[in-house]
Amino acid sequence: MSISQPDGSADRLFELGDVQLACGQTIPQARLVYRQFGKLNDERSNLILMPTSYGARPADLAWTVGPVLDPERWCIVIAGQFGNGLSSSPSHGGMGLAEQGWLVQHSDNVAAQKRLLEEQFGVTRLPLIYGWSMGAQQAYQWAVSHPDCVERLCCVCGTARTSVHNKLFCLSLRQALTADPCWNGAGFDGVPEQGLRTFAFIYASWAASQPHYRGMTEPIEQHVEQQWLPHYRRHDPSDLIAMLDTWMAHDVAAGGDLQTALATISARTAVVAGSHDLYFLVDDMSREAEAIADAQFHVLESLLGHRAGNPHSSLPEQQHLRRIVDQLMTS
């Protein structure tokens, strides 16, 4: 494994060897996918980590480099979470689902990312971890698990603990897939076309805001079919389930007191809630921010809903995020 040109144009694979998860299962010959943008400086002090969101691969988040994070100044590493189909995933074999006693937790993702940064980049301290959605979850997990490694934290549209309602949303998605005729009780015997369609309808209804759809003239069935379904159909459905289980299990306090866990965060923290996010609520994110010393709390005004935090095609939200990051980096 060698570091090639850091142009971010290609996925790299970091080989972890066998990795034991917190659940007790072991991923054989585990690997993490990542992309690197910008150059690591001689002091190895400019590496920004961006863990991936649900279903995302590094290429999906690469738009962030430039509009939000400056690759001239920073070495930006986008690291894929387990289950995303490029990092180790059930679809590769060797990993199971909850039905077989498997669960990847964000502490597992963070441990693997920590090894990537240490062994591949020689980096042990990060000026920033930036994450959207499940990426924000991993950022929180980093800051709680390794407070000495994280100087700054920017958590966009994601919480430190999955709320009960958010779990309900995830369960509706999981149930949609396992309700398909292709589900055999332990896995899929084929492509769950009907389950994926239900999944896409549910996701489309939650991940944008209600007013986002107000002016839409395109038939909504066609919109979901063309704009949402392909994002999920490209995945192995077992991988979709594995990432949902990670999402639902997420809790930096591991069942303990959340305020206490958040109080251990020493990173300079920016918490960014989407004004119309339907599952990572402004109120929930604000409450968590209050438990973190000196955290800045921002509301990103946008009808994009949860997707306001991943505004690949919308300049106002990009600019707002850039201002938040710039402010955070000078604090």
Query: What 3-state DSSP class applies to 104?
Result: coil
Shortest distance, position 236 Cβ to a second copy, whole Å: 18
Residue nearer to a second copy on the CB measure, 50 or 261: 261
Shortest distance, position 14 Cβ to a second copy, whole Å: 36
Per-residue binding letters, 206-235, with a second copy (x by CB under 8 A): x---xxxxx-x---xx--x-----------
**Identity of the amino acid at 184:** N
Rule CB under 8 A: say whether 255 interacts with a second copy: no
Shortest distance, position 245 Cβ to a second copy, whole Å: 13
Shortest distance, position 165 Cβ to a second copy, whole Å: 4
Residue nearer to a second copy on the CB measure, 30 or 248: 248
Place of tokens 């015997």: 189
Rule CB under 8 A: say whether 245 interacts with a second copy: no
Binding segment (CB under 8 A) for a second copy, from list 18-26, 146-154, 166-174, 288-296: 166-174
Residue nearer to a second copy on the CB measure, 59 or 291: 291
Rule CB under 8 A: say whether 244 interacts with a second copy: no
Phi-psi map region of 185: left, alpha, beta (phi>0 left; psi -120 to 50 alpha): left
- Report which of 279, 287, 324 is spatially closest to residue 305, judged by C-alpha positions: 279
Q: How far apart are CA 1 and CA 322, in angstroms?
A: 33
Residue nearer to a second copy on the CB measure, 148 or 218: 218
Shortest distance, position 263 Cβ to a second copy, whole Å: 20
Handedness of CA 111, 112, 113, 118 (dihedral sign): positive
User: How many residues of this chain bind a second copy (CB under 8 A)?
Assistant: 38
Per-residue binding letters, 167-206, with a second copy (x by CB under 8 A): xxx-xx--xx-xxxx------------xx-xx--xx-xxx
- Report DSSP letters for 206-275, one per residue: HHS-TGGGTT--S-HHHHIIIIIHHHHHTS-HHHHHHHHHHHHH-BTTTTS-HHHHHHT--SEEEEEEET
- For 21, 154, 186, 247, the CA distances from 99, given in Å and listed in that order, are 16, 34, 6, 16
User: Annotated active-site positions, please?
Assistant: 133, 277, 306
Query: What 3-state DSSP class applies to 95?
Result: coil
Contacts to a second copy from residues 121-160, by CB under 8 A:
none
Rule CB under 8 A: say whether 163 interacts with a second copy: yes
Residue nearer to a second copy on the CB measure, 253 or 281: 281
Q: How far apart are CA 185 and CA 172, in angstroms?
A: 17
| CB < 8 Å & 24+ apart, contacts of 4-9 | 6/36, 6/37, 6/38, 6/39, 6/40, 6/75, 7/37, 8/35, 8/36, 8/37, 8/62, 8/65, 8/71, 8/76, 8/78
- Helix crossing, 193-207 with 237-249: angle to 10°? 40
Residue nearer to a second copy on the CB measure, 221 or 326: 221
Shortest distance, position 212 Cβ to a second copy, whole Å: 8
Shortest distance, position 189 Cβ to a second copy, whole Å: 12
Rule CB under 8 A: say whether 275 interacts with a second copy: no
**Identity of the amino acid at 196:** L
Residue nearer to a second copy on the CB measure, 181 or 316: 181
Q: Residue 178 is encoded by which pair of tokens?
A: 């396992």
Where along the sequence are the contacts to a second copy (CB under 8 A)? Answer: 163-169, 171-172, 175-176, 178-181, 194-195, 197-198, 201-202, 204-206, 210-214, 216, 220-221, 224, 278-279, 281, 283-284
